[in-house]
Amino acid sequence: MELKLFWTDFAQRELEKIYEYYHIKMGISIAKHLVNGIIDETLKLKYQPRIGQEEELLKDREQEFRYLVYKNYKIIYWINEQENRVEINDVFDTRQNPLKMKRTK
């Protein structure tokens, strides 16, 4: 069964920040390629939502957060079975301090 993909506002803002950074530093082509790659990586979650590993740093949360990796980015998500969707909650640059992942804003 195919699940829907839902990007939270927070995850969308993080994706926009990534785009803006690479647009300024590397150009529009690189920025688009990276952001499209991140988005494309999430498409497999429609059919295989449990493909990602559990995120150890977020085990204290109510939801079971999982992640996929694309280049230097962790795509943090959880499976909302009540809504029949996968919720993308964050796109986290793995070059940052891992404890920063626990941020809420």
1 — pLDDT class (breaks 50, 70, 90): confident
pLDDT of 105 > 60? The answer is no
Task: Note the pLDDT of residue 96.
Answer: 76
- Cβ atoms of 77 and 87 closer than 8 Å: yes
The domain locations on the chain are: 4-94
For 39-88, write each residue's pLDDT tens digit: 999 999 999 999 999 999 999 999 999 999 999 999 999 999 999 999 99
Q: pTM for this one?
A: 0.89
pLDDT of 34 > 70? The answer is yes
pLDDT of 101 > 90? The answer is no
Structural fold of domain 4-94: YaeB-like fold (3.30.2310)
